[in-house]
Structure 1
Amino acid sequence: MIKSELINRLAERNQHLTQRDIERIVGTIFDEIANALSRGDRVELRGFGAFSVKRRPARTGRNPRTGTAVEVQEKFVPFFKTGKELRQKLNLSGKQSDDSE
């Protein structure tokens, strides 16, 4: 699902809100998660999962075309760990589709 599909689904379920309002809400949520991560904070959405930032140290890599050594700088990457309820829901839905075959 892409962002526009999420907005459309939310609009279908919340017809009392305008499409523009839903776009602002979704954008604000994503912006707040990104801002919190950029500050080094952890964002936890109970039942869904937690976003955090992992540090990747500097290292020597290889250029895949030429094979020459390339210095890769230290970087920080977003990390998502699923919550217990989401994992259970995913595993339950997988078992239901197996039972129907």
Structure 2
Amino acid sequence: MGHVTRRDLIARVSDETGFSHQEVGQVLQKLLDCLKESLGKGETVELRRFGIFQVQMRKARKGRNPKQPETDIIIPPRPVVKFKPGKEVRELLAKLGDRLTQEG
């Protein structure tokens, strides 16, 4: 499996819509800025049929310094972004899982 970059997304949307790469890049950047701003305020971002981005607090936990494994350290609680896929994404992932299971 490969990965998709911002440039790949811009090229694909540009090719499919006829908008220039620059226009698509500006819209994508504005979308990401709005998403980041909303999450930074602790807001939930819901994109119907795609999924929900939500800020949650990760609990404090014990960790180890690899350079001093005998010493435990406490990793403090911190906010993290969780993604809950929507129905269409869940269905695609289920199909992918079935295909990967058959290959393996």
Q: Are positions 1:6 and 2:14 aligned together?
A: no
Gaps of 5+ in 2: none
Cα deviation 1:58-92 (Å, max 9, x = unaligned)? 33321123112223222111110101121113334
User: How far apart, in 2, do the equivalents of 1:20 and 1:46 lie?
Assistant: 27
Of residues 81, 85, 97, the one that matches 1:82 is 85
In 2, Cα distance between equivalents of 1:89 and 1:71: 38
1:14 to partner: Cα distance? 1.3
C-alpha separation in 1, matches of 2:37 and 2:62:
30
Higher strand share: 2
Q: Structure 2 length normalisation: TM-score?
A: 0.80
Aligned-residue CA RMSD (Å): 2.3
**Alpha-carbon deviation of 1:29?**
0.7
1:59 and 1:87 mapped to 2: Cα distance?
A: 30
Change (3 A) 1:97 1:59: closer
CA deviations on 1:34-71 (whole Å, 9 max, x unpaired) are: 11111000001111100001102333321123112223
> Any residues of structure 2 matched to 1:1-101 within 5 Å, and which?
1-15=4-18, 17-67=19-69, 68-92=71-95
| Percent pairwise identity | 32
Matched letter for residue 42 of structure 2: G
The number of equivalent residue pairs is: 98
The amino acid of 2:17's aligned partner reads N
TM-aligned CA deviation for residue 10 of structure 1:
0.5
Could you state the TM-score of these two structures normalised by the residue count of structure 1?
Answer: 0.82
